[in-house]
Amino acid sequence: MRKKIVAGNWKMNLNLQEGVALANELKDALAAEKPNCDVIICTPFIHLATVAGITEGTVIGLGAENCADKEKGAYTGEVSAAQVKSTGAQYVILGHSERRAYYGETAEILKEKVNLALANGLKVIFCIGEVLEEREANKQNEVVGAQLADSLFDLTEEQLSNVILAYEPVWAIGTGKTATAEQAQDMHAFIRGCIAGNFGEKAAEEISILYGGSCKPSNAKEIFSKPDVDGGLIGGAALKCADFKGIIDAWN
């Protein structure tokens, strides 16, 4: 049985004190009511070590939102996969559309990052998704298929077992415009088919594929009810404990 997951992406929000308060609130809420899925929060680098002290021994997994494409050394301002791991984090988001669009992260760069993250014992939440013009031109499968192939298809099956996929149509991120549950299901089934084609049926059956893009408590249940949707990657709604918990509860 593949894992059901709700993961939060805090992005560049919350100062350290606000992040600590949110992590504590979530810890208390999930201690009071055990979730029916895996829960992960991905925070800015500066929060990681402190939040790791809060999430340790709880059901909450912790991840970074990025890591460097270099192992170590003179790369001022970068944070390596090994450094992320040393904070106590277990996950890292890679390939988010904001990183691709605003920081020029190419498939080649992402391939390096994925390899370094996995080599350092992190699990990767790898984001893929088309922009609006690509959807309107009905090119979403071509685009997403290429994103998968160009950054992930050289992995071994063993490495892939430490990868979670997140389908995030760029036109749905932070826009309030959610993909319909059918659009999500169609794409997730396509993605699973791509994984089956390259890694085999077993790997495809076992990989978790999350949906991301304006997911909220009011629409999560319908989206998560689709057979190939294994949960969500949540941006804005991960910043309020009640909203995030409302999405987690969609699995109840």
Q: Which residues are the active-site residues?
A: 96, 168
Q: Give min distance, CB of 91 to ligand PEP, in A.
A: 13
Q: In the bound complex, what is the minimum distance in angstroms from residue 178's beta carbon to ligand PEP?
A: 8
Comparison of 244 and 251: residue with beta carbon closer to ligand PEP: 244
Helices (H), the chain: 16-32, 45-55, 81-86, 97-102, 107-119, 132-136, 140-152, 157-160, 181-199, 201-206, 217-224, 241-248
Pick 178 or 203: Cβ nearer ligand PEP: 178
Residues 6+ apart with CB under 8 A from 37: 3, 4, 5, 6, 231, 248, 251
Toward ligand PEP, which CB reaches closer, 80 or 214?
214
Contact 152, 114 (CB under 8 A): yes
Exposed e or buried b per residue across 38-47, where buried means at least 16 C-beta atoms within 10 angstroms of its C-beta: bbbbbbbbeb
The answer to whether the Cα torsion of 177, 182, 185, 187 is positive or negative is: negative
Smaller CB separation from ligand PEP, 6 or 215: 215
According to DSSP, residue 170 is labeled G
Footprint of ligand PEP (CB under 6 A)? 9, 168, 173-174, 212-215, 233-237
The CB-nearest residue to ligand PEP is 235
> Rounded CA gap, 249 and 252, in Å?
5
Q: CA Rg, the chain, in Å?
A: 17
Instruction: Output the smallest distance, CB 152 to ligand PEP, in A.
Output: 18
Cβ at position 222, least distance to ligand PEP in Å: 16
